[in-house]
Amino acid sequence: MGNNRLVIPEARAAMKQLKKDVMKDSLQGSALNPIQEPIGQSETTTYEAGKRGGAIGGEMMKRLVSLAEQHLQQEQQSHKNQ
């Protein structure tokens, strides 16, 4: 997560788990843009590493937006039911 500060520091463990899940899914090819696992770390160029990191961050953002949309929809439903 680099130097990014979390708005809710207590969410750090959940964010780390999300990152692990996205990386695992990417390596298994279940993400939209599967990430190829490098043969060796020394064979990975900076450009390739950046592409992988960008894909992981992009997929994390997609999942976070999806979670936020679900939360907003549930919140809206609960307000309608009151």
What's the confidence (pLDDT) of residue 2?
A: 55
Query: Residue 40: pLDDT above 90?
Result: no
Q: Tell which wins on pLDDT, 82 or 30.
A: 82
Supply the pLDDT for residue 13: 93
Looking at residue 63, its pLDDT comes to 92
Q: How confident is the model at residue 68 (pLDDT cuts 50, 70, 90)?
A: very high
Query: DSSP for 21-75?
Result: HHHHHHHHT-SSSPPPPPS-GGG--HHHHHHHHHHHHHHHHHHHHHHHHHHHHHH
Could you state, in order of their start, the residue ranges of all structural domains in the chain? Answer: 10-50
Vertex 36 angle, CA 30 and 38, to 5°? 145
Closest CA to 66 of 23, 22, 28, 33: 22
For the cut 80, the answer to whether the pLDDT of residue 4 exceeds it is no
